[in-house]
Structure 1
Amino acid sequence: MKLLLLLPLVGVALAYTDMNDNFIVDTMMQDPAKARKETQELTACLLDEGPCEGFNAAAKNHMVLTMSDACGECDMMQKRGAVKFLTMMKKEFPQQWEKFEKRYDPTRTNFDKFVQKLSVYKDD
């Protein structure tokens, strides 16, 4: 019984607390034009091709672990945001997508697992 009561707390503790879920909801899920702009800015940050502040800096700090454990420490909204971001990056910015894959999963051993595991969070 005690274990069942602790499970929701473990789920909350695993979320990246320095990531603003409201940003994900308000930007990535609600406003396609703004989502495209934010995706471009986050991609530039992740690839060291642009400024890296606030949400983008936090995302960059977590990216290596996030890719290696398929967003295992993300909460549900962070997983939905990751799927939205990756889908948009691949579709809208294919050259940056290739650089992203090479940087964050050079052997491509984690990326397929990441996409497969998080595909249940895709809202399209």
Structure 2
Amino acid sequence: MMSKTIFIITMTSLVSSDFYSSRYDDFDVQPLLENDRILLSYTKCFLDQGPCTPEAKDFKKVIPEALETSCGKCTPKQKELIKKVIRAVMDSHPEAWDQLVDKYDKEKKYRDNFNKFLEEQ
């Protein structure tokens, strides 16, 4: 009985690790999209140029892997939210976007695949 329980717990852990935590699936990105100051504060956090909110700190931890895998572990909802925020940064602050890309993909290994991800509907 004990080994069956351990197996179920192990399998549950493996399945859930296929995606990032759904904790932020309902994160309201509207304030970031509507308030440039908030958008810039997140951007500065990601660039190590300013303080981070707890949420921004969590997002920052997954940026390298999400970039490398074109958000391979993101839930569909997370992909939608990420694309909205990235497009806002690209449109409103292209220089900050360039800095982010340079910081997280200095060798330009992932840019083409990540750009394709951003273009997906």
With the shorter chain as reference, the TM-score category is: 0.7 to 0.9
Q: How many residues align?
A: 109
Mapping of residues 80-99 of structure 1, within 5 Å: 80-99=80-99
- Tell me the distance in 2 between the aligned counterparts of 1:100 and 1:31: 17
- Tell me the distance in 2 between the aligned counterparts of 1:85 and 1:27: 7
- Tell me the distance in 1 between the aligned counterparts of 2:22 and 2:49: 23
Normalising by structure 2, report the TM-score: 0.76
Offset of 1:115 from its aligned partner? 2.1
Where structure 2 has 5 or more consecutive residues not aligned to the other structure, the ranges are 1-13
Q: Is the 8 A contact 1:89 1:96 kept in 2?
A: yes
Coordinate RMSD, CA, aligned: 2.5
Q: Alignment identity in percent?
A: 25
* Deviation per residue, 1:76-117 (Å, 9 max, x gap): 111111111111111111221111111011122202201202
**Equivalent residue for 1:71?**
71
Q: Which has the higher contact order (CA 8 A, sep 6+)?
A: 1
Offset of 1:31 from its aligned partner? 7.6
**Equivalent residue for 1:27?**
29
Matched, 1:105 2:89: no
Over alpha carbons, which structure has the higher Rg?
Answer: 2
